Amino acid sequence: MQPPLVLAMLVCDDVYTDANTRKMSVMGLHGTIVVSKSSPIAERMTIFVCLTECPSSYSVKVRIIDVNEKYGPIGEMVERLDSPDPRAVMQGFYRFDKIIFDQEGEYRGQLVIYNELMLERRLAVLHR
């Protein structure tokens, strides 16, 4: 089966959805996260994705890993999605609370569909 086409994937603080229009607003884009050395916790991190050419039903996995995958996923969500029309543009977000970044360095936010890595975003983590 052909995987969806990824139009966008962003790492951010959060996504706000307007109650009336259902439009989404991405807040606080990240390329670097700074956490406390004594308590290396990111209170909230969100990954926003936008897809098209989606099959009628498919599974999406979003995960946060260290660059060498030494520690396994430090955050992971799997969701089954249904698309009303392959031409539809599907938007969604995956909110991770209290992610622990024990080590400084490079991490990745990844989007996996049909066990295939579709896209990843680099994330630098600094301890202060």
Quote the CATH superfamily of domain 5-127. Answer: Macroglobulin (MG2) domain (2.60.40.1930)
> 28, 79 in Cβ contact below 8 A?
no
CA dihedral 55, 48, 6, 70 (to 10 degrees): -100
Distance separating alpha carbons of residues 58 and 83, to the nearest angstrom: 8
Say what the pTM is.
0.93
Residue 55 in 3-state DSSP?
A: coil
54-69, pLDDT tens digit by residue?
989 999 999 999 999 8
Residue ranges covered by each domain of the chain? 5-127
What span, in angstroms and rounded, lies between the C-alpha atoms of 75 and 66? 10
pLDDT tens per residue across span 31-57: 999 999 999 999 999 999 999 999 899
Convert the pLDDT of each residue in 81-94 to its tens digit: 999 898 999 999 99
Burial of 75 per CB tally in 10 Å (0-12, 13-18, 19+): buried
Spatial distance between the Cα atoms of 124 and 41, rounded to a whole number of angstroms: 14
Measured distance CA(82)–CA(104) in Å, rounded: 37
